A and B are shown apart, each in its own frame.
Chain A
Amino acid sequence: MRHILILGAGTAGTVIANRLSRRLRSQLRAGRVNITIVDPDPVHLYQPGLLFIPFGESFRERITKDRRPTLDRDVRYVASAITAMDPDSDTVTLADGTRLSYDLCIVATGARLVPEETEGMTGPGWRESVHEFYSLEGAERLGYALDCFVGGRVVVNVVEMPIKCPVAPLEFAFLADAYFTNCGIRDKVEIVYATPLDGAFTKPVAAKSLGHLLEEKGILLETEFNTGRIETRAAGAPADELDGRAGALVSWDERRIPFDLLVTVPVHKGAAFIATAAGLGDAMDFVMVNPRTLQSQRKPNIFALGDAANCPTSKAGSVAHFQAEVLEENVVRMLEGRALDAGFDGHANCFIETGHRKALLIDFNYDTEPLPGMFPYAWGPVPLLKESRLNHLGKLAFRHAYWNRLLPGRDFPGIDAKMKRSGKRMLQTQD
């Protein structure tokens, strides 16, 4: 009997569990292989839906489901937290002290928010004037705060990269612009976007195509802003320093941005047990893998995918999906003693909401930046890197596809793990 252990049943863990279960069905039923998946939360959260919660355009019941029905019935589900992993003895320890051993382990424990890593973030203003929307509780609390907001300065801020869904903070700023416009108070609201990167759009083609968006929407941009600390008035900072506002975001080089409402994306790290499994993770506790095969650099029988892996591509659901196709093949190859396929090219594919019921789509990989053109076929029907209503509808329809196609591990017609070049216009950035 070969034991396959999957840690984490979010998007990445669920997709790989279901794909492997289908691929290895005969071996599973003959008792030659078993698949166990461990996740402490009995509820599966559709993370792309979090963006809409603060604006009252989605709600808890719409983006959560019981975990068990999302997993193939041949997959054994253990509802428990993971406290330790020992790559040397091929074991994982659960919260109640149970030890699970494995022949092959797949780490899919995602990324976790660590707001306490930033001085002052979880102080008295936390979830009062300082908010995040990367957790269900945070998104709901931010929704209440927006309901009560009558005007002032809203600062949207990324503390540091990498983060899940790198475009989400920008989408939030765009949607906030549309939301306040619809509320009739846009003229009383100043929106500032503060990023550690040197622009809102850092890739040259995207910067050229989309550079106008922030300006058109009247969103102020503060670049190379590395958040050092957050001061809130309750923390004892003098009112005059805060400009009479609820708090201020302060950078390491002492730039200050006072705010009435801060929407921040806190520091992200990998699961805590990765930090104590020597040699498994990097400085941020993401599992160090070969970016093409997804095999751990620490031990050959460990793999990682999704947000938990340190691949230099976006932490996004689409990436987890494309990685799962390659990893499914590699797990089978490893079980059969064959060489691994170095087939993951960093492919990512994301809808970006731009407000007023429009969105754009980007498609890129390790080597090719997001380019304009058509998707998924050369004739379309979906335009790339261009705002359209169809993309917005695509984003909304994706929730159904997520539950019914992506999570069960089925393929999407026309969309492969490897990025296609057809339909894309290869632009020179000097154009």
Chain B
Amino acid sequence: MTTLAAVPRNAEGFLERVEDWDRDIAREIAREAGIPELSDRHWLVVNYMRDTYIATGSAPTIRTLGKESGVQVKELYALFPKGPAKLAAKIGGIPKPKGCI
């Protein structure tokens, strides 16, 4: 089993390499962020996030998540408090949603 300590991460705790991710690592990052257990609803969002990133090269925004992932925006905030897109990206092992500079 891979452990979080063994994979490279950046200063903000995002994985350096998308391919290092697995479900155990996701659980560890979630615990670190104060989510003790990932429910089916969490997984729905995390998997959607990861699939979209791998297909398009960028992470979906909150509104796209609310429309497409099957989880409403209000619930996203309940599942991933403060900044759901960023936290779900971190747990999903994909880079932080980007700005330009």
Contact B77 A314, beta carbon cutoff 8 Å: no
Q: Does B2 contact A (CB under 8 A)?
A: no
* A311: nearest chain-B partner, CB-CB: B57
Contact B98 A160, beta carbon cutoff 8 Å: no
* A253: nearest chain-B partner, CB-CB: B77
Contact B96 A252, beta carbon cutoff 8 Å: no
Contact B98 A161, beta carbon cutoff 8 Å: yes
Contact B101 A352, beta carbon cutoff 8 Å: yes
Contact B74 A161, beta carbon cutoff 8 Å: no
Contact A161 B101, beta carbon cutoff 8 Å: no
A160-B63, A210-B101 known; A198+B73 contact, CB < 8 A: no
Contacting residues, chain A, for B83 (C-beta < 8 A): 198, 224
A325 CB to nearest B CB, Å: 21
A252-B77, A310-B56 known; A284+B64 contact, CB < 8 A: yes
Contacting residues, chain B, for A370 (C-beta < 8 A): 101
Residue of A196, A288, A314 with most partner-chain B CB within 10 A: A196
A166-B99, A202-B96 known; A312+B58 contact, CB < 8 A: yes
Partner of A196, one of B52, B61, B77: B61
A72 CB to nearest B CB, Å: 31
Partner of A224, one of B60, B74, B86: B86
A161-B98, A253-B77, A312-B56 known; A429+B62 contact, CB < 8 A: no
14 pairs from A and B in contact (CB 8 Å cutoff) = A162-B58, A166-B99, A167-B101, A196-B62, A197-B99, A199-B99, A202-B98, A202-B99, A202-B101, A203-B99, A252-B77, A310-B56, A312-B56, A429-B11
A65 CB to nearest B CB, Å: 28
Q: Does B9 contact A (CB under 8 A)?
A: no
Chain A-chain B contacts (Cβ-Cβ < 8 Å), number: 81
Q: How many angstroms between the C-alpha atoms of A348 and B98 in the bound complex?
A: 14
Q: How many angstroms between the C-alpha atoms of A370 and B98 in the bound complex?
A: 13
Q: How many angstroms between the C-alpha atoms of A253 and B61 in the bound complex?
A: 15
Q: How many angstroms between the C-alpha atoms of A199 and B97 in the bound complex?
A: 11
Q: How many angstroms between the C-alpha atoms of A162 and B58 in the bound complex?
A: 10
A residues 308-356 touching B (CB-CB < 8 Å): 310-312, 314, 348, 350, 352
Contacting residues, chain B, for A284 (C-beta < 8 A): 64
In the A-B complex, the 7 residue pairs with the closest CB atoms:
A202-B99, A166-B100, A206-B101, A312-B57, A312-B58, A224-B83, A160-B61
Contact B100 A283, beta carbon cutoff 8 Å: no
Q: How many angstroms between the C-alpha atoms of A206 and B99 in the bound complex?
A: 11
Contact A201 B99, beta carbon cutoff 8 Å: yes
Contacting residues, chain B, for A199 (C-beta < 8 A): 99
Contacting residues, chain B, for A291 (C-beta < 8 A): 57
Partner of B67, one of A202, A206, A283, A362: A283
Q: How many angstroms between the C-alpha atoms of A167 and B101 in the bound complex?
A: 8
* A195: nearest chain-B partner, CB-CB: B99
Q: A162-B58, A198-B96 are in contact. List 7 more A-B contacts (CB 8 A).
A: A160-B63, A161-B99, A202-B99, A203-B100, A224-B82, A310-B58, A312-B58
Q: How many angstroms between the C-alpha atoms of A362 and B101 in the bound complex?
A: 8
* A226: nearest chain-B partner, CB-CB: B62
